[in-house]
A and B are shown apart, each in its own frame.
Chain A
Amino acid sequence: MLELVARFLLIGALAFGGGQAALPLVERLAVADTGWLTPTQFATGVGLSYATPGPILILAAFIGYHVAAVPGAVAATAAVFTIPVVLAGFTAQLVAKLKDARWFQAFGRFAAAAAVGLLGVTLLVLAWPVVDIHWALLLGSAVVFSAELRGVHPIILIPAAVLLGALWPLINDALVRFYIL
């Protein structure tokens, strides 16, 4: 539990570039390093984070729940938001002193670029189990990718993909029967 809180505090403190840019940090620091979740479970958590309202880093609750049920979910969520929220409160209070500090801006720019680079690693980790089932499934990812770039909302794409996946055994059955008969 202490480790859970410590890791999510660290993720919050390093999450330059916002919530989505912090996904690789969550994957590296709270999944790959610890083995608390499999890549498949992590992908499920990310999907649910996109599908629920509010911040994407609510993913912390998903991981926390897997580690220590409801107390874990609450603790991980509190931990991941504590440092950012305190900073935002002070920023509002001090009318953005930190925001104007040159060194802090330079740090943030480079740290954010690095976090985006790490997203590439996370993408590989998550794509691997999919390729493992069948490489052609990545075509589905490509469809989701281009749909998102064309402005289709994740809130539509995720239920669609889940539904299609759930119905796949039926579709598969129908196809097999069609070919056999």
Chain B
Amino acid sequence: MPPPDAIIHPKNEATGRPSLPSLGWALLCIGAVAFGGLGATLALLRRELVERRGWLRPGDITEALAYTKPLPGSTVVQVVTFLGWRLGNWPGAIVATSAFILPALALMTVAAAAVLALPDAAWVRGALTGLQIAVVGLLAAALWHLARSEAGSVLLLTVLLVAFAAGLFVNAAVVVTVAGAIGVLIDRVKHNA
């Protein structure tokens, strides 16, 4: 007899590992509709993998986010890798990640080809200018959100501003690496003091 909790919340427990093809198919479908960035995709993963298929527990997704956020790279993709690993080790991680990225890769390749094939007409120039205007606004919004989440102290805000100034003249890879190294140094000094 199952424990009472499983009767009341039957979807609270993971029901077992999917086969690699079904894992791949699930992530392919998710990847094709994963619009709207990290938050929206996390909700989608929860709905599909936890509630609908019952492969994972809700805690798995929270954990995947917590563990992959500090790593460099696209967090959405890393959450998928983490969950894929949980469902099928390295093969699971690789199948889940490739399947998740595949629709975006296909769409973007077609879109890139389409953009290059566009005629030089007034409406095309207008559409591309409209897109540029929107992108400037969206990046300003991204800057706003990221500055609030990543520069939570005066020290980090200073890093942000210095990196901005340095970025006008110095290679970006150098700026990011030097900032990270300074972070390690400051942490060490604080810790020893």
Chain A contact residues, CB within 8 Å of chain B? 10, 12-25, 28-29, 33, 40-41, 43-50, 52-59, 61-62, 65-66, 70, 73-74, 77, 80-81, 83-85, 87-89, 91-93, 96, 98-99, 102-123, 126-127, 129-130, 133, 137-138, 140-145, 147-149, 153-155, 157-158, 160-170
Q: How many A-B residue pairs have CB under 8 A?
A: 388
Out of B130, B135, B143, name the residue touching A120 (CB < 8 Å): B143
Interface of A is mostly: helix
Q: Which residue of A lies closest to B169 (CB)?
A: A121
**Max chain B C-beta neighbours (<10 A), residue from A44, A83, A113:** A113
Q: A52-B108, A110-B182 are in contact. Are A98 and B71 (CB under 8 A)?
A: yes
Q: Are B78 and A87 in contact (CB under 8 A)?
A: yes
Q: Are B171 and A28 in contact (CB under 8 A)?
A: yes
Jot down 11 A-B pairs with beta carbons below 8 A, ordered by A: A21-B146, A41-B115, A43-B135, A53-B103, A65-B116, A81-B101, A83-B73, A89-B85, A91-B68, A107-B181, A137-B133
B77 at the interface (CB under 8 A from A): yes
Q: Which residues of B contact A54 (CB under 8 A)?
A: 31, 34, 76, 100-101, 103-104
Whole-angstrom distance from the CB of A156 to the nearest CB of chain B?
10
Q: Are A47 and B132 in contact (CB under 8 A)?
A: yes
* CA gap between A18 and B146 in the complex, in Å: 10
Which of B3-11, B13-21, B45-53, B118-126 is found at the contact surface with chain A? B118-126
* CA gap between A153 and B79 in the complex, in Å: 22
Whole-angstrom distance from the CB of A132 to the nearest CB of chain B?
11
Q: Are B140 and A53 in contact (CB under 8 A)?
A: no
Q: Are B179 and A113 in contact (CB under 8 A)?
A: yes
Whole-angstrom distance from the CB of A95 to the nearest CB of chain B?
8
Q: Which residues of A contact B71 (CB under 8 A)?
A: 84, 87-88, 91, 98-99, 108
Fill in one digit per residue for B123-142: 1 if any A CB lies within 8 Å of its CB, else 0.
Answer: 11011111111111111111
Known: A110-B184, A116-B151. 15 other contacts (CB 8 A): A14-B172, A28-B167, A44-B132, A47-B138, A54-B76, A81-B73, A81-B97, A85-B81, A88-B93, A98-B71, A99-B67, A120-B167, A138-B136, A145-B137, A154-B37
